[in-house]
A and B are shown apart, each in its own frame.
Chain A
Amino acid sequence: MSLLKIKNLKTYFHTRAGTNRAVDDISFSINKGEIVGVVGESGSGKSVTCHTMLGLLPQPPAKVEGGSVTFDGEELINLPHSLLRQIRGKRISMIFQDPMSCLNPYLKILDQVTEPILIHENVSRNKAETRAIEMMKKVGIRDAESRAHSYPHEFSGGMRQRVMIAMALVTKPDLLLADEPTTALDVTVQARILKILSDLKDDLGIAVLFVTHDLGVVADIADRVVVMYRGKIVEQGKTRDIFEKPSHPYVKGLLACRPTLETQYQILPTVEDFLQTQVEKDGSIMLSECPDANKRLAELKSETKYNNPSGDTSNVLLQVKKLTVHFQTGGNFLGKPPKIVKAVDGVDLQIQSGQTLGLVGESGCGKTTLGRAILKLQNTKSGSILYDGNELSNLSQADMLHFRKRMQIIFQDPYASLNPRQTIEQTLVEPMLVHRIGSNHSERKDRIVSLLEEVGLGAEFLLRYPHEFSGGQRQRISVARALAVEPEFIVCDECVSAMDVSIQAQVLNLLRELQQKRNLTYLFISHDLSVVKFMSDDMMVMKNGEVMENGKAEDVYKNPQSEYTRELLEAIPKATLSD
């Protein structure tokens, strides 16, 4: 018998803007001791499903419109809150995406891990604490006895997620709802957390509902996979079956658009290559398969790598030598020595004109600081930045202005990096005005329109504000903004990291296309090895401010020299059944 059975569940959000069918008639079940992965893009309804089960959604605006969720024979929908509370944290536990914000910063770790036991079981505080510490050891927290008395901010992200897991499992629940538990973590940390989860599953015999946007992650640990799209389940089945012979066009697209280390494509397929969506009159959505998907795939595969002047080192555009950036923290006027963080510590790199250097590393390795230092958006301590024969490191900001026209940056978060109070037109005109591009307004406007068209948007967007766009569209605008001054060198700083894979594929394709057309040179910064491998000619791996390894992207991947690169490569979830 299945432990959890969801039947025809519908959760809608009723707002002034209209009704959003976040979860629209879905059914699936989980058996005892099974891991089921729920995969979908942002807004597909996967988190809402989890929250609906435990009654955690704010109502209104959310409302369960129909269907049932039975857990161990008991109906959870419309169960009184007092009864639901006896299930929450005791029989069904939940862990969340962001371990930074999901632990209470004001309470000691031990208090928080002990709390579920004290709520749900009639045991003494001492016994509860002993059990809490035991569980913390089990999830791999070293020195649990002493660390238990610390506060969340004294733990790293990975350790906090372990605390979350310990807190969820300390009452030995039957079912664990894991809502994107590894999304905010580095790949090596993610690999460790996944290992802990699958070990504990066997150890404690719990069932896990694992929600994620990353197909690769579920391939590693799930027994079965449920794929959601726009509130509906488009496909579900055994993990192997889904990966080997997906039947729904969306799933096919999702599998194909994700760059893997083995990707043969020069241009990534996108979900749109597989899936046609048609909005019916009543607002429901019809999904159908593109008739010529296979033809398109074959086309993409046959596309050869465009010609780079590779091997020719005569036209080095950027050469960085022994670049060092230090940050000072602490210290005061009474002479307490400040703590020095060596964010970038003696880095050498060079990029040839028209090529892409990929820069990989985990959070805190200094990759973003390096990118900013090259553009002089960050003061450097020592070292040289030679750009097209000009030394930048000792230029004043005023002298640097001249080079700003030639060197641009695209940031990670298109939500935060576009000014919410400027229209797209204003955003795009501003850099042109600064660099005196175009002689009058209509000329500049013409240029903007052609730029927008180049990045796949149109003139009709000119007078809109950033919040009216989706994440993918905003990043296209960011790209257009960078291109507005006709640069030759662009730093792409984690510019696809915040995106769903299907949109990531579109943006990556756009960047490649623009590179080819305009002979752009990229410094492509990312934590994602597969994405970097797809984008780059050369590749560099950073850790703790130092370069661990560099070389041709192909070589680094096939024959990693440093231990750290090997660790990174191994940590990547292998979703390679699709190729």
Chain B
Amino acid sequence: MLRFLTDRILQGALVLFALYTITFFLAKAMPGEPFTSEKNISAETKANIRKLYGLDKPIWEQYITYPKNIITKGSFGISTSKGRPVIDIISQSFPNSLILGLCALAFAIGIGVPIGVLSAVRKNSWIDWACMAVAMVGICIPSFTIGPLLQIYVAAHIPGLKVAGWGNLEDILLPSFTLGLVSAAYLARLTRGGILEVLSQDFVRTAHAKGVSPSKVIIKHTLRGGLLPAVAYLGPAFAALISGSFIVETIFQVPGMGQHFVNAATTRDEFLLLGLSLFFGFLIVVMNLLADLLTGLLDPRVRHTRKTD
């Protein structure tokens, strides 16, 4: 187990370094630079600012300095557009995105998995057909459509619900629904497929032959295997949900991390861009690892502690 973990952590570090390299050179390749603006700044001032941020040094030196600072000082650089440390920006906005993402995830799992199971059990019935049609619609409607629709038709008509804003408990409701809808729909389809796959296997027939009741066949013999595709999907999906969605956060005015991704790119704020990318990459790596560990927990054949004979 320890071996597996160290392997995976090292692999993760490699992935992050590759991600850093690609982002770094892409950012450098972007036209323009952080301090190009409509204001007239003297060449001298500009040179000074560049020096302050260390942008005057040769590229390869900048390339080495950034990760060095992360490791030695825990510093992800200072945002050139906001003038604040990148780590502060992340630590302020991430909790909001995290809460929103967790609620969206809870909604996605709470709705998607049961619908998937129901569909699979009632395969080819009208229930199955209706569930899968709804799921398909959920996948197809983009969040910039469903978000405003919810604002107009739901938030405006229910007292206590605000069209947008952040701070009260009920404010989470609509954005998390909007954010989680696509994941819920995917989960429903993945769960249905996974369970149908397991239901067609011989050991399910064995269970029936033993006299196991139909509900127990599903719960005890089918669910674990049937959820594996959903778990594999959840790893990266979870990382994407909690790292903030620009669209959903903008529509519902959530002070989350999503806006910073877009702003960092448009303002050529390369330190913020690098910091956010690495943070997002880190989340993906960790969530994938968790998903794999969970898969191991569900499926003894891929469990890493035991040796097969």
Interface residues of A (CB under 8 A from B): 54, 56, 85-90, 93-94, 96, 98, 101-107, 115-116, 119-120, 151, 153-156, 164, 167, 332, 334, 336
Contacts and interface: CB of A to CB of B under 8 A. Distances in A.
Contacts of B211: 85-90, 116, 119-120
B7 A332 contact: yes
22 contacts: A54-B208, A54-B209, A85-B213, A88-B208, A88-B209, A88-B211, A89-B211, A89-B212, A90-B211, A94-B206, A94-B209, A101-B202, A102-B202, A102-B206, A106-B225, A106-B300, A115-B212, A119-B210, A153-B308, A164-B206, A167-B210, A332-B7
B293 interface: no
B299 interface: yes
Interface string B279-305: 000000000000000000011110000
B208 A103 contact: no
B73 interface: no
Contact of A89 (B3, B202, B210, B225): B210
A94 B207 CA distance: 10
A56 B221 CA distance: 16
A105 B210 contact: no
B46 interface: no
Nearest to B210: A89
Interface residues of B, number: 27
A103 B309 contact: no
Interface in B212-227: 212-213, 220-221, 224-225
B82 interface: no
Contact of B209 (A93, A105, A120, A154): A93
Instruction: Indicate the member of B3, B203, B298 with the most A CB atoms within 10 Å.
Output: B203
A104 B298 contact: no
A550 to B, nearest CB: 30
B122 interface: no
B300 A96 contact: no
Contacts of A103: 203, 206
A153 B308 CA distance: 7
Contacts of A102: 202-203, 205-206
A105 B300 contact: yes
Given A107-B221, A151-B300, A154-B308, A88 B210 contact: yes
B201 interface: yes
A190 to B, nearest CB: 19
Contacts of B39: none
Contact of B206 (A87, A96, A336): A96
B202 A98 contact: yes
Contacts of B301: 105, 151, 153
A131 B212 CA distance: 19
B207 A104 contact: yes
Contact of A96 (B202, B221, B299): B202
A545 B213 CA distance: 46
Nearest to B298: A106
Instruction: Indicate the member of A56, A93, A102, A336 with the most B CB atoms within 10 Å.
Output: A102
A104 B198 CA distance: 10
A101 B201 contact: yes
A89 B209 contact: yes
Contacts of A156: 309
Interface in B123-148: none
B299 A106 contact: yes
A119 B202 CA distance: 20
